[in-house]
Amino acid sequence: MESKTLFLMALGIWLQSLTTTRGWVAADDRITGGRDFIDIESKFALRTPEDIAEDTCHLIPGVTESVANCHFNHTSKTFVVIHGWTVTGMYESWVPKLVAALYKREPDSNVIVVDWLSRAQQHYPVSAGYTKLVGKDVAKFINWMAEEFHYPLDNVHLLGYSLGAHAAGIAGSLTNKKVNRITGLDPAGPNFEYAEAPSRLSPDDADFVDVLHTFTRGSPGRSIGIQKPVGHVDIYPNGGTFQPGCNIGEAIRVIAERGLGDVDQLVKCSHERSIHLFIDSLLNEENPSKAYRCNSKEAFEKGLCLSCRKNRCNNLGYEINKVRAKRSSKMYLKTRSQMPYKVFHYQVKIHFSGTESDTQTNQVFEISLYGTVAESENIPFTLPEISANKTYSFLIYTEVDIGELLMLKLKWKSDSYFSWSDWWSSPGFTIEKIRVKAGETQKKNWANLQKEEQNTNSMKNGVTFTSDAQCFGCFKDKFPEY
């Protein structure tokens, strides 16, 4: 109990520091023009695949020789990594991991880490204000590279985390030509949720802006990550509010074992997941996670948004398709709690037919899927209500690729609120068909009930359905939209 109290106190102090001021914090607007770089405080370290953790060589705006000394590759891509707010005044552990993953995916590229640690370790609202100056520093550096060395901005990809995402956005808005891409990794929420576009990350800051939202829990303006869409494509893994494996129970256990030294990292578990999802996309290029466009996370949870027609689905991370629309595309997906994060999404539709008029609520089931490659068993789900002559849709996902669906098994959990066996055995009430759609392959299957298993206690033991891929048209009247 004492550990839990200490954790909650530390959590409250940390969150309070994030939410003390609403709106934009004014910062020094001074910026020198032309080729005067004397006011640039940010440092630009070109890290190497051999030394991913140390800033051993710096590119100095205005000093031409520094670029040659650091062996900058003028014919390859350049990634500019911009960190966020820091409690310790030191780089966080994710920085070398991201650098290593970028070099593994693009061995000939340049990976530049922007050091603004002295400004980033201030009280949060002060550091938030400094993002404007950091963005100006980065823009002046990029403009210098383009003018002095004719380096094409089509090769520049900015990656900003938390406050660094907004610094990247400001930088992009100030470059003479647009950079190719900005990736916002859970852009900070406090001080930016209600800010105007010039003061934060926005779709106008690059040719393409993609954003991962992983910790938008809380009221707008007070959640650690920004809630509103701020890119061309905004992806909300697991609804964007909280990530698997980042539960308070685990945090309390770690604090009991290690003390309060890592409290900030524990609090930021979901916030930092955005970085690790992007790292995952770099390392597991053959099997990218797929996200789906949807109007809300509630609709996504019902499985209503697993379509890939007309750019309704996209890859998460590095290999995202650069789709630009008039409005931002909000996209959703589920993930695992650890790398590799990819899961396989399925929409399941069940049609209950019969003459029963009662509506039952909060019924708990388990579903098992069996495929040509593997199986995934006892996946729990709850239907908020059940009544006859209605179709219900819900989302399930598996951590393994089962291949082509061959069979599924549906089981009613015996702790539900009514006697299913009485209802199931009623001659006026049956499950006619189950439809399963695989998000990753876009394949649809009709599952036929095995007649010999329709008995009084069948749902307690599990009812088996076999896949009938040839039966798409035979039940179309039940699902006319398909």
Active site members: 162, 186, 271
- Please, what is the Cα angle at 162 between 135 and 79, to 5 degrees? 60
- Tell me the H-state helices in 162-210: 163-174
Fill in the DSSP letter of residue 406.
E
Six-digit token pair at 135? 């963005």
SS3 letters for 109-151?
Answer: CEEEEEECHHHHCCCHHHHHHHHHHHHHHHHHHHHHHHHHHCC
Distance, CA of 169 to CA of 156 (rounded, Å): 13
Cis-peptide, bond into residue 340, ω within 30° of zero: yes
Give φ, ψ of 297 to 5 degrees.
Answer: -70, -25
Which of 5, 22, 160 is CA-nearest to residue 80?
A: 160
The residue whose two tokens read 């992009």 is 172
Q: Which residues are registered as beta bridge partners of 84?
A: none
The residue whose two tokens read 């089931």 is 365
Q: How many beta carbons lie within 10 A of that of residue 456, not counting itself? A: 11
- Please, what is the Cα angle at 32 between 31 and 35, to 5 degrees? 135
Residue 467, sorted as left (phi over 0), alpha (psi -120 to 50) or beta, turns out to be beta
363 and 412 Cβ atoms separated by less than 8 Å:
yes
Distance, CA of 377 to CA of 58 (rounded, Å): 53
- Tell me the H-state helices in 311-400: none
State the number of CA atoms in the 13 A half-sphere of 199 facing the CB. Answer: 18
Which of 290, 293, 377, 364 is CA-nearest to residue 334?
A: 290
Distance, CA of 157 to CA of 182 (rounded, Å): 6
